[in-house]
Amino acid sequence: MSSSRWRSGLLLAICVGLLAPAAGALADCNVSPGTVITKQNWMQYKDCFSEGVQHFWLGDLFYKMPDDVAIHVGPQHTWTLPKPYTDATEKYGSQTRLVKQADGRYKLENYVAGLPFPNPSGSEKGTEIMANDTYKMQGYLVAISWPMGNWGQLIVRDRFGNYAPEVVDATYRQLAYNWETDQGTPRVDPQAGGAWYSEWIMIELPEQSKYTAVLTLFWQDNLKDEDDYAFVPALRRSLRLSSSARCAPLLGTDMVKDDQRVGWNGGVGKFVGKWLRDQKLLTLFEMNGKAAGSFPQEYDGVLGWPKPDWGEWETRDTYVVDVRRIPELAPGYCYGSRVDYIDKQYYGNVAEDIYDSNLKLWKVVWTAATPAKLDNYGEQAGLCGIVENYWDVQNDHVSYITSFNNSATPGKCSYWDSQVPADWNNVTKYATPAGLSQLMR
């Protein structure tokens, strides 16, 4: 190695070392509403971003912050979680346990509803935080679709700027541990069949991929492997996938099935979390859905960063957790580590740094959200819509996932609970393998 390259590498290592707070340290994000963060002053606010996003600012990867980047900082929003959810947390939270099994997995015991671990602490603090992420507050049913005019988009782009968009329908349903029993929602859906959660996605466009669909079922017995199915239109039937499908790309994107639920879809049992630190992080929690649905016009530069009209950014209090497969199940798994930045109130992912099996940075993930009213529980964060950006920094590839679109009513929200039309509120069709066979009828 030449001396100039050695000096450059040393400088880069020093810079990266300065960017990354030590484990257990409280990252120091001091930023006031009214601040505008640009490439000229970003180092002053570096701790307001995930380590992966700091690389974009630093410019040491293919993906770099655009020269005209401008992050306008606004006040932090406050929301109140639904009272039935907090009541369930207070009633049942003290009894929930993670019991380590002989094979290294964790059995979730005595969980009923609400937040499993209201005060994560002790040696299992990180693992408890990830359990909270899995069973975070949400409604019992969410739906987006082409017929309803609020479809989602999956957009994959390569380093040359070529991109391929997909229009998708999706329904996610909570089949057990429901907290909305005050509205007549059963704690366990009578059609649950042992599942607690279902995820269904189908492609509408492009036409040659229409009806391609995937279904995942998570079980109340958290030690039972997820069931993954794919409907293949050319065969006019569904296929049950192996457990290794958790690492398979989701509908051709840079997201795998274990990423699917806005950055964390690994469930409870096979993973262990290590709490690293608390950190305030800047993100968009009241995002302009019209801008988020307008690709590529509102996505800035090669990076595809949000333009200022996406809205004002705000700080969120997060836990930073290093999540890894338990050692017994780690061989052959796609990720060596994922560092998740998890909102302390809603337990959703704000950002992620994902590392390969050799612990080399692989993907940088950033998310944003828009609030909406949930039935009569008031406005809740994230319920109108979301954005997930997955930058593959090893292969210079990126996927933009958004529940918004640029339709006749841009920025139209996802439908939740009582808003979901009756024909989409169908457990058999959208939450069972038998329902996949109905797609081309």
Domains and CATH numbers, the chain: 134-436 (2.50.20.10)
Residue 171 neighbours by CB distance under 10 Å: 24
Asked if residues 50 and 341 have their Cβ atoms less than 8 Å apart, the reply is: yes
Specify the DSSP class assigned to residue 6.
Answer: H
Q: Tens digit of pLDDT for each residue in 166-201?
A: 999 999 999 999 999 999 999 999 999 999 999 999
Per residue in 216-275, pLDDT tens?
Answer: 999 999 999 999 999 999 999 999 998 888 999 999 999 999 999 999 999 999 999 999
Helix 3-19 vs helix 51-58: angle between axes, to the nearest 10 degrees? 140
Instruction: Encode pLDDT of 372-400 as tens digits.
Output: 999 999 999 999 999 999 999 999 999 99
Count of alpha carbons within 13 Å of 263, Cβ hemisphere only?
A: 32
The Cα–Cα gap between 253 and 201 comes to: 13
The span from the CA of 372 to the CA of 52, in Å, is 29
Question: Which has more pLDDT, 2 or 438?
Answer: 438
Q: Convert the pLDDT of each residue in 76-106 to its tens digit.
A: 999 999 999 999 999 999 999 999 999 999 9
Among candidate residues 230, 235, 195, the one with its CA nearest the CA of residue 215: 230
pLDDT tens per residue across span 225-241 = 999 999 999 999 999 99
Q: What is the pTM of this model?
A: 0.93
Q: Sorting pLDDT into bands at 50, 70 and 90, what band is 407?
A: confident
List of residues 6+ apart from 95 with CB closer than 8 A: 110, 112
